Amino acid sequence: MRLEILYYMSKRTKIKALLESEQTHIEVTVKGWIRTFRNNQFIALNDGSTNNNIQIVVDFENTDPTLLKRLTTGAAISVVGELVASLGKGQKVEVKASQIEILGDSDPEKYPLQPKKHSLEFLREIAHLRFRTNTFGAIFRVRNTLSYAIHTFFQDRGFVYLHTPIITASDAEGAGETFHVTNFDLVNPPKTETGEIDFKQDFFGRATNLTVSGQLEGELGAMALSDIYTFGPTFRAENSNTTRHLAEFWMIEPEMAFYDLVDNMDLAEALLKFVIKEALAKNADDLEFLSQRLAEEEKQKPQNERSDLSLIDKLQFCLDNDFQRLTYTEAIEILKESTPNKKKKFQYPIEGWGTDLQSEHERYLVEKHFKKPVILTDYPKQIKAFYMRQNDDEQTVRAMDILFPGIGEIVGGSQREERLEKLEQRMDEMGIPKEELWWYLDTRRFGACPHAGFGLGFERLVLFVTGMGNIRDVIPFPRFPKNAEF
């Protein structure tokens, strides 16, 4: 990157470019927010372009004292000065300021972010300012890389990015509680003669809600475009209070015609590896910082709970190893024979075939037994959704869940049931109203073909790559029960 060009285009040079500059003794303009002002002489300035700060050297003896007093943590400033090799240790280059302008003051008595350690809980309460910390700066730059990498991955493979609706009328997908969308006066909504709320008079002429999944619409697209993916917000009104659930989250849902379950797994594994690789390549500084942050945090934990791999090693390990693939039935066998099960260490002992695995079981498989990402397939049909393709054993369906260490389920997908009779039979059994999904069933009536897809929880991916522990810290403004501030 040539600094002159950047300077011309934006009237300032971003700190990332300055720190990478091979040239010195050039005049530069740099703008950003003060992190600390040390020794009445050294400003650590950050503009979010990188995790690293640039050091601004102030000639305090020849600077107006009232200006010096306004160089406080959090203030926005513009600096003109010479980029020089640093005289001190700790940085290669620094800017010898010739002109400093305060763009925005920051009252140090009131500004909540002071140069000290703050807890993640506190920062969550000031989510509007937490971008200005090293940790959150790194997280959101990594999030950006992952987001872009997902598009790159699919675009390179000829997938069509399809915008499925945010507002939907079907409440039939069984993916969880929905948020209602209405124009009614909630105090006095129109009623029918029988006293029920009359949705015929509502904006859409029927009851509507925010989407819980774009999959069904995604399948419609795939039945003509071959390969599509969605990447958009998803809403679940579950009263979930955990480190892995949000009421508003982003999900990637590819849907591929002529794919079977193995193709589906191959694609999901390739996608995860690609985006992790991109993050390692493009956010080395950020991940190094997050890796150290995690190491510090792990020091607080008892020895046996600590991870033996650093964050970066963990990500690299993911790239270097194939995910372990096995069926639900095989997993049950392993769990049955496992030490914690025999020693009755599981809160929910493995009793037999047919029930869903508990978190502790998934963790055992991923973190203790295989020690790598695991793909479980062919679950019992009674614990999975109606649209999954039924196996010949009449007991299981072509489902696959990808389980990651520390996160649990990061991907859930399946080969879809393309046979009309089988699908209708399953919908009847599960009480899914066929009339409402007439358009979905039409794809099985006209040119049905084998196809498959999955849903990847974007925040869970960001959680894994950044090594953070709470999903509320990897989305800018988390929505969860009792919280929609900002």
Partner RNA sequence: UCCUGAGUAGCUCAGCCGGUUAGAGCAUCUGACUGUUAAUCAGAGGGUCGCUGGUUCGAGCCCAGCCUCAGGAGCCA
> Contact with RNA (CB under 7 A): which of 17, 44, 142, 268?
44
18-37 residues in contact with RNA (CB under 7 A) are 36
Please, what is the minimum distance in Å from the beta carbon of residue 97 to RNA?
A: 11
Report which DSSP code applies to 366.
I
Please, what is the minimum distance in Å from the beta carbon of residue 67 to RNA?
A: 14
Please, what is the minimum distance in Å from the beta carbon of residue 180 to RNA?
A: 17
> Contact with RNA (CB under 7 A): which of 92, 112, 183, 337?
112
436-455 residues in contact with RNA (CB under 7 A) are 455
Residue with tokens 């010479």: 82
342-371 residues in contact with RNA (CB under 7 A) are 356, 358-360, 363
Please, what is the minimum distance in Å from the beta carbon of residue 265 to RNA?
A: 14
Q: Which residues contact 214 (CB under 8 A, 6 or more apart)?
A: 162, 164, 165, 230, 232, 234, 251, 253
Please, what is the minimum distance in Å from the beta carbon of residue 440 to RNA?
A: 16
Instruction: State which residue, 202 or 459, has the beta carbon closest to RNA.
Output: 459
> Contact with RNA (CB under 7 A): which of 8, 25, 64, 90?
90
> Contact with RNA (CB under 7 A): which of 87, 300, 308, 343?
87
> CA of 200: how far to CAs of 151, 239, 434, in Å?
39, 29, 21
Residue 439 class from Cβ within 10 Å (0-12 exposed, 13-18 middle, 19+ buried)? exposed
- Reading across the β-sheet that carries 227-235, which strands appear in turn? 160-161, 227-235, 248-257, 451-457, 408-415, 396-404, 374-380, 324-327
Instruction: State which residue, 124 or 157, has the beta carbon closest to RNA.
Output: 124
127-166 residues in contact with RNA (CB under 7 A) are none
Q: Give yes or no for residue 118 binding RNA (CB under 7 A).
A: yes
Q: E strands of 130-206, at which residues? A: 160-161, 167-168, 180-181
Instruction: State which residue, 199 or 386, has the beta carbon closest to RNA.
Output: 386
> Contact with RNA (CB under 7 A): which of 411, 432, 452, 462?
411
Q: Give yes or no for residue 412 binding RNA (CB under 7 A).
A: yes
Instruction: State which residue, 450 or 457, has the beta carbon closest to RNA.
Output: 457
Ranges of H-type helices in 346-409: 359-363
> Contact with RNA (CB under 7 A): which of 62, 66, 119, 188?
119
> Contact with RNA (CB under 7 A): which of 45, 138, 397, 410?
410
55-74 residues in contact with RNA (CB under 7 A) are 55, 57, 60, 69, 72-73
Binding mask 459-478 for RNA (x = CB under 7 A): xx--------xxxx------
Ranges of H-type helices in 307-457: 311-320, 328-336, 339-342, 359-363, 420-430, 438-445
165-204 residues in contact with RNA (CB under 7 A) are 175-176
Q: Pick from 340, 420, 406, 409: which is nearest to 379 by CA?
A: 409
Please, what is the minimum distance in Å from the beta carbon of residue 198 to RNA?
A: 28
What does the alpha-carbon distance between residue 131 and residue 317 come to, in Å, rounded to a whole number?
29
Q: E strands of 64-150, at which residues? A: 76-85, 93-104
Binding span for RNA by CB under 7 A among 18-26, 90-98, 179-187, 364-372: 90-98
Instruction: State which residue, 4 or 360, has the beta carbon closest to RNA.
Output: 360
Q: Which residues contact 173 (CB under 8 A, 6 or more apart)?
A: 212, 213, 215, 216, 385
What does the alpha-carbon distance between residue 120 and residue 142 come to, in Å, rounded to a whole number?
18
> Contact with RNA (CB under 7 A): which of 135, 178, 211, 213?
213
Binding mask 253-282 for RNA (x = CB under 7 A): ------------------------------
Buried b (16+ CB within 10 A) or exposed e, 33-54: bbbebeeeebbbbbbebbbbbb
What does the alpha-carbon distance between residue 236 and residue 480 come to, in Å, rounded to a whole number?
10
Please, what is the minimum distance in Å from the beta carbon of residue 43 to RNA?
A: 9
Query: Which tokens is 331 given?
Result: 């997993």
Please, what is the minimum distance in Å from the beta carbon of residue 186 to RNA?
A: 19
Local structure of 72: helix, strand or coil: coil
399 and 393 in contact (C-beta within 8 Å)? Answer: no
285-314 residues in contact with RNA (CB under 7 A) are none
